[in-house]
Amino acid sequence: MKGYIKPSPVIILLGMLLLFACARDAKEENTNVPLYIRQPAHFPKPVYTFDNNPPTRSGFELGKRLFFDPILSLDQQVSCGTCHAASAAFADPRSTAVSKGVFGRSGLRNTPALANLIWYPHFNQDGGINHIEVQPVAPINDSLELGVGIANAVRILQNHPEYPGLFERAFDSDSVTAARILWAFAQFMGALVSDNAPIDAFHRDNKPLPEKAMRGKVIFDESCAGCHSGVLQTDFSFKNNGLNMGSNDIGRAEVTGNIQDEGRFRVPSLRNVEYTAPYMHHGQLNTLNDVIEAYSTSIAAHPNLDPNLPVGGFDFSSQQKEDLYQFLLQLSDQTFVNQSF
Amino acid sequence: MKRFNSNFKGWLFMLPAILIFSLTACSDDDDNGNGNGDAAASVTIKFDHGWGPNHLPFAINTALMHPATQEEITFTKLRYYVTNIELHKADGTVWKEDESYRIVTVEGNSSVQELTVPNVPPGEYSAVKFMIGVDEDRNTSGAQEGALSPAENMFWDWSTGYIFFKAEGMSPAAPNGQFMYHIGGFEDPHNAIRTTTIAFGEQRLNVVAASNPSIHLKVNSARFWHGGISLADVFSIHMPGPNATTIADNWIGAFRFDHLHN
- What's the ipTM? 0.88
Mutation for testing the B interface, residue in A2, A117, A137 having most B CBs under 10 Å: A137
Q: Which pLDDT does position B38 carry in this prediction?
A: 56
Q: Which pLDDT does position A295 carry in this prediction?
A: 98
* Residues in chain B where the model's pLDDT stays below 70: 1-39
Residues of B in contact with A130 (CB under 8 A): 139-140, 160
pLDDT tens digit string along A180-225? 999 999 999 999 999 999 999 999 999 999 999 999 999 999 999 9
Distance CA A329, CA A220 (A): 13
A131 touches B: beta carbon within 8 Å: yes
Q: Angle CA(B209)–CA(B210)–CA(B214) in degrees, nearest 5? A: 100
Higher-confidence residue of A7 and B189: namely B189
A142 touches B: beta carbon within 8 Å: yes
Mutation for testing the A interface, residue in B29, B140, B149, B188 having most A CBs under 10 Å: B149
Using the beta-carbon criterion (under 8 Å), do B159 and A177 form an inter-chain contact? Answer: no
Q: Which pLDDT does position A31 carry in this prediction?
A: 62
Mutation for testing the A interface, residue in B7, B24, B238, B239 having most A CBs under 10 Å: B7
Residue type present at position A174: D
Distance CA A23, CA B26 (A): 9
Contacts of A6 (CB under 8 A, 6+ apart): B7
A156 touches B: beta carbon within 8 Å: no
pLDDT tens digit string along A116-155? 999 999 999 999 999 999 999 999 999 999 999 999 999 9
Q: How many CB pairs under 8 A join A and B?
A: 96
Same fold, A57-190 and A198-337: yes
Using the beta-carbon criterion (under 8 Å), do B158 and A14 form an inter-chain contact? Answer: no
Distance CA A167, CA A180 (A): 8
pLDDT tens digit string along A55-74? 999 999 999 999 999 999 99
Q: Which pLDDT does position A293 carry in this prediction?
A: 98
Q: Which pLDDT does position B109 carry in this prediction?
A: 84
- Identify the architecture of domain A57-190 in CATH: Orthogonal Bundle (1.10)
Contacts of B1 (CB under 8 A, 6+ apart): none
B149 touches A: beta carbon within 8 Å: yes
Give me the helix-helix angle, A150-158 and A178-190, nearest 10°: 90
A257 touches B: beta carbon within 8 Å: yes
B151 touches A: beta carbon within 8 Å: yes
Residue A145 to residues A72, A77, A249, B5, Cα–Cα distance (Å)? 10, 11, 18, 73
Ramachandran category for residue A282: left, alpha or beta (phi over 0 → left; psi -120 to 50 → alpha): alpha
Using the beta-carbon criterion (under 8 Å), do B143 and A11 form an inter-chain contact? Answer: no
Nearest CA to A182 among A226, A243, A230, A123?
Answer: A123
Using the beta-carbon criterion (under 8 Å), do A137 and B150 form an inter-chain contact? Answer: yes
pLDDT tens digit string along A250-280? 999 999 999 999 999 999 999 999 999 999 9
Q: For residue B116, what are the β-bridge partners?
A: B44
Q: For residue A73, what are the β-bridge partners?
A: A147
Using the beta-carbon criterion (under 8 Å), do B11 and A151 form an inter-chain contact? Answer: no
Distance CA A206, CA B254 (A): 65
pLDDT tens digit string along A10-51? 444 444 444 444 443 444 445 689 999 999 999 999 999 999
Residues of B in contact with A186 (CB under 8 A): 142-143
Burial of A14 (0-12, 13-18, 19+ CB in 10 A): middle
Residue of A nearest to B2 (CA): A3
Q: Which pLDDT does position B110 carry in this prediction?
A: 87
User: A130 and B140 in contact (C-beta within 8 Å)?
Assistant: yes
Distance CA B48, CA B58 (A): 9
pLDDT tens digit string along B59-114? 999 999 999 999 999 999 999 999 999 999 999 999 999 999 999 999 988 899 99
B197 touches A: beta carbon within 8 Å: no
Nearest-by-Cβ selection for A130 from B10, B144, B160: B160
* Domain-wise residue ranges, chain A: 57-190, 198-337
Q: Which of residues 50-69 of A touch B (CB under 8 A)?
A: 52-53
Q: DSSP 3-state assignment of B106?
A: strand
Q: DSSP 3-state assignment of A238?
A: strand
Q: Does the structural domain A198-337 have CATH classification 1.10.760.10?
A: yes
Residues of A in contact with B142 (CB under 8 A): 52-53, 131-134, 182, 186
Distance of residue B138 Cα from the nearest chain A Cα, in angstroms: 11
Please name the helix (run of DSSP H) or strand (run of DSSP E) that holds residue A63, with its range, or none.
helix A57-68
